[in-house]
Chains A and B, each alone.
Chain A
Amino acid sequence: MLDFSILTENLDMYLVGFKNTIMSSLIALVASLILGVLVAIMRIAPLKPLNWLGTAYVEIIRNIPLLIITFFFFLGLKLSGIYAGTLALTIYTSSFIAEAIRAGILSVPKGQMEAARSSGLTYGQAMRLVILPQAVKIVIPPLGNQFINLVKNSSILAVVAGLDLMYHGDLISSRTFIVFDVYIFVAAFYLILTIPLSLGVGYLEKRLAKSN
Chain B
Amino acid sequence: MIVFDQVNKYYGDFHVLKNINLTINKGEVVVVIGPSGSGKSTLLRCINRLETISEGSLSVNGLNVADKKTDINKLRRNIGMVFQHFHLYPHKTVLENIMLAPKKVLGQTDAEAKKIAQKYLEKVGIADKANSFPSQLSGGQQQRVAIARGLAMGPEIMLFDEPTSALDPEMIGEVLDVMKALAHEGMTMVVVTHEMGFAREVADRIVFMDEGKVLEEAIPAEFYANPREERARLFLSRILNH
* A134 touching B91 in the complex, CB below 8 Å, given contacts A118-B48, A129-B100: yes
Q: Which residues of B contact A109 (CB under 8 A)?
A: 87
A119 and B87 contact, CB distance less than 8 A: no
27 contacting pairs across A/B (C-beta < 8 A): A114-B83, A114-B87, A115-B81, A115-B89, A115-B146, A116-B89, A116-B100, A118-B48, A118-B76, A118-B79, A119-B77, A119-B105, A119-B149, A119-B150, A120-B74, A120-B76, A120-B101, A120-B105, A120-B153, A121-B73, A121-B104, A121-B105, A129-B104, A130-B100, A133-B91, A134-B90, A134-B91
Q: How far is the CB of B236 from chain A (nearest CB, A)?
A: 30
A120 and B91 contact, CB distance less than 8 A: no
Of residues 145 through 159 on chain B, the ones whose CB sits less than 8 Å from some CB of chain A are: 146, 149-150, 153
A115 and B77 contact, CB distance less than 8 A: no
Of all A-B residue pairs in the complex, the 7 with the closest CB atoms, nearest first, are A120-B77, A115-B87, A119-B101, A111-B87, A120-B105, A118-B81, A120-B76
Q: Which residues of B contact A120 (CB under 8 A)?
A: 73-74, 76-77, 101, 105, 153
Cβ of B85 within 8 Å of any chain A Cβ, yes or no, is yes
Cβ of B234 within 8 Å of any chain A Cβ, yes or no, is no
Cβ of B239 within 8 Å of any chain A Cβ, yes or no, is no
A119 and B100 contact, CB distance less than 8 A: yes
Q: How far is the CB of B152 from chain A (nearest CB, A)?
A: 9
Of residues 30 through 50 on chain B, the ones whose CB sits less than 8 Å from some CB of chain A are: 48, 50
Q: Which of B48, B89, B101, B104 contacts A112 (CB 8 A)?
A: B89
Q: A12–B96 Cα gap in the complex (Å)?
A: 54
Q: Chain A, 139-172, contact with B by CB distance < 8 Å: what is the 0/1 string?
A: 0000000000000000000000000000000000
